[in-house]
Structure 1
Amino acid sequence: MRVKIDASLAYNFAQPADVLLSLEAIRSDDQTIVSDRLAALPESGLKLAEGPERLGRRRWLEAEGDVTISYTALVDVSRRPLSIAGLLVPARRDLPYDVISYLLPSRYCEAEKLSSFAEEAFSGAVGGDLVLNMADWIFENFEYAPGSSNETTTATDTFLMRRGVCRDFAHTLISFCRAMGVPARMVSAYAPAIDPPDFHAVVEVWLDHAWHLIDPTRLSREEELVRIAIGRDATDISFMTIFGAAELRDQRVAVEVVAGNG
C-alpha cells in the first residue's frame, strides 16, 4: 500500500541551537520511498549525521529565530499483517552482533526492575506467543491517557501507574521482552490510523532471525506503519533533539493511505 506523509514543525529559537532531526522514512526491504523531501525555512543546510541509515536518517540543523521544518513523502509499504504466533527466539549465542544490545536494559527500559513480575506473570509461553501474551496484558491493564507521562517517565513508572501514551506502552513491552530473553527495540513511525495525528512509537522483536513490528497500543495496523528511526528506547528515536532551548509554535502530522502500488 502507498502511504502519504505531510509533517510540519514550527519552533522559535531565542538563541542559536543545534538540532538533530529524525523525520525521514527509512529505506528497507518492506518500505520503498517513492519520493520525499525534508526542508527548513529560512533555508538552512541540513547535514546528514553519519551512522547506519537502516536505523534512521538523521540530519543536523543550525537553528535560530522562527524556523519551520517540513517533511513530505510517498512510501510504498509491503509488509504482512502481524503474525508472530509460533515464532521462536534463537539461542543467545546465535544472535547477530547488532541484536545483542537489544537484550540489555536501557535508560527508559529497566528490564531488570520488571523481571520478577514478567517471570511470574508470563512463564509458560515462548517466542512470539510470549510476546503476544505480554502485549495483550499491557493493552488490557493500561489506560491510554495523553498527558499522563512526560520525557522522564520510564517503563517502571508506567508499570506502576498503569497508564501512559504510545512511548510508555512501547517501553513497557520492550522491558518485558528483554526480561524474558526476547531482543526488543523501539521504533518511531508514521501511522495512518492515529487520531489525533501525531508521531507514533511501536516495538520490534527479534524472532526466527528477523525483526517483527508490534504495536502494544493497538492504535495502528503494523502493515501500514512507516518506520522513521530505530533504537534502544525513546532516547534514540526522538524526531527532534534540541541542543539548546526552543518554543514550540505549531506541529502538524498528516498520514494517510492513498491509491498507489496496491
Structure 2
Amino acid sequence: MILNIEAYLHYYFEQPSDLILQLEASKTGQQKILNANIAFSKIENFVRVPTEAGIGDRLLLRTEDHFSCRYTSRIEIERKPTDIASLPATPIHLLPGEAIRYLMPSRYCPSDEFQAFVSSDFGNLNGGARIAALSEWIHDHFAYVPGSSNAQTTALHTFVQRRGICRDFAHLLVTLARASAIPARFTSVFAPFVNPQDFHAVAEVFLDGAWHLVDPTKMAHQEDIAIIGVGMDAAEVAFMTSYGFAEFREQSVSVSVEA
C-alpha cells in the first residue's frame, strides 16, 4: 500500500522560541520512504537528531514571529496484518533489554494503578488474547469525543470519564497492557481512514518476540499505518514541543491511499 501524506502547521511566536518537531514518517523495515520533503518559514539553527528508540528523527530549531512547516511524503507500507489474539506473551525473563522500559509506569500511563483491575476483569486471558480483549473493551465502552481531553489528561482520567480522543485511547491500552506485564509503547502515526484527519496515535505491544500495532479506536489498521515515532507516552513523541508560547493559527493533515 502506498500513502500520500501532507501535514501543515502554522503558529505565531511573539518571542524567539526553540522547537522540537517530530512529524516525519520514519524509515523502518516495514515502511519505505519513496520521497519526502519538509519546508519551513524562516528558522535558525536547524539540527536533525535521532530518537532514543532509533525510530524517526527529532528536528531542533529556533524561530519567531509566524512559523509554518509543510511536510509531504509518499510512503510504501509493507506490513502484513497479524492476528493479535493468537500471539503468546514473551516471558519477562526473555524480553530484550530495549523492551523492559515499556513495562514501567510513565507520566500519562500510571500502569501500577491498574494491576488489580486487569487481574480481576481480564485475569482469565493471557498474552495477545488479553490485548485483543482490552482493545475491544476500550472501543466498546469509551466514546471518541474530539475536544474532550487536554495535555493534562492521563489514562486514569480517561478511565473515569469514559471518553477521549486517539491519544487517550492509546494511553489507556498502553497502561492496561503494562499492568498485564506486557511491554507497550505509545506510537504516533499517519493513517488514511482517521476521521477527522489529523496526527493519529495507537499502541504497540511486544508479543511473541516482536512489536505489534493495535488501534483501540479501530480507525487505523496494521497494514495502512505509517509510523512517525514511539515513546513511553505522548510526551516523548509530540509532533511539536515549544519552549515559548505558541499561538495556534492553522494545522491540517491529509493522508490518502494511492490508487
Query: Paired residue for 2:132?
Result: 132
Aligned to 1:253: 253
Measured against aligned partners, the alpha-carbon deviations of 1:19-58 in whole angstroms (never above 9, x if no partner) come to 0000111111110000111121125453112444633211
**1:63 partner amino acid:** T
Deviation at 1:129? 0.6
Task: Give the partner amino acid of 1:155.
Answer: A
* Native 8 Å contact 1:28 1:54 kept in 2: no
Q: Which residue of 1 aligns with 2:9?
A: 9
Pair 101,158 (structure 1): closer, same or farther in 2 beyond 3 Å: same
CA distance in structure 1 between the aligned counterparts of 2:209 and 2:53, rounded to whole angstroms: 20
Q: How does 1:182-201 map to 2 (within 5 A)?
A: 182-201=182-201
Render the CA deviation track for 1:184-235: whole Å, top value 9, x for unaligned.
0000000100122100000000011100001011112221010001000011
Matches of 2:54 and 2:82 in 1, distance apart? 21
5+ residue gaps, structure 2, are none
Alpha-carbon distance in structure 2 between the residues aligned to 1:56 and 1:110 = 26
Cα deviation, 1:155-201, whole Å, max 9, x if unaligned, reads 00000001100011111111110001110000000010012210000
**Partner Cα separation in structure 1 for residue 53 and residue 225 of structure 2:** 18
- Deviation string 1:100-122 (CA, Å, 9 cap, x unpaired) is 00001000000011111111110
Identify the residue that residue 175 of structure 1 maps to in structure 2: 175
Query: Greater CA deviation, 53-62 or 31-40?
Result: 53-62
What is the aligned-residue identity percentage? 41
Secondary structure at the aligned position of 2:139 is classed as helix
Q: Is the 1:10–1:251 contact (alpha carbons within 8 Å) kept by the matching residues of 2?
A: yes
TM-score (norm 2): 0.97
Letter in 2 for 1:159: F
Alpha-carbon distance in structure 1 between the residues aligned to 2:135 and 2:54:
25
Matched letter for residue 22 of structure 2: S
C-alpha distance in 1 between matches for 2:219 and 2:83: 17
Q: Distance in 2 between matches of 1:207 and 1:160?
A: 28
Distance in 2 (CA, whole Å) between partners of 1:86 and 1:187 is: 22
Query: Does residue 26 in structure 1 map to residue 26 in structure 2?
Result: yes
Match of 1:105 in 2: 105
Q: Give the SS at the match of 2:85.
A: coil
Flag as ranges the 4+ runs of structure 1 deviating above 6 A: none
| Contact map agreement 1:192 1:220 (CA 8 A) in 2 | yes
**1:228 matched to which residue of 2?**
228
Asked if the contact 2:43/2:61 (under 8 Å) is kept, the reply is: no
Post-superposition offset of 1:124: 1.1
Instruction: Give the TM-score normalised by structure 1.
Output: 0.96
> 1:25·1:57 contact (CA, 8 Å) conserved in 2?
no
- How many aligned residue pairs are there? 259
Q: Say whether the 8 Å CA contact 1:26–1:53 is kept in structure 2.
A: no
Backbone CA RMSD of aligned residues: 1.2
* Matches of 2:73 and 2:53, distance apart in 1: 17
Whole-Å separation in 2 of the counterparts to 1:195 and 1:210: 29
Query: SS at 1:75's partner residue?
Result: strand
The DSSP-based 3-state class of the residue aligned with 1:125 is coil
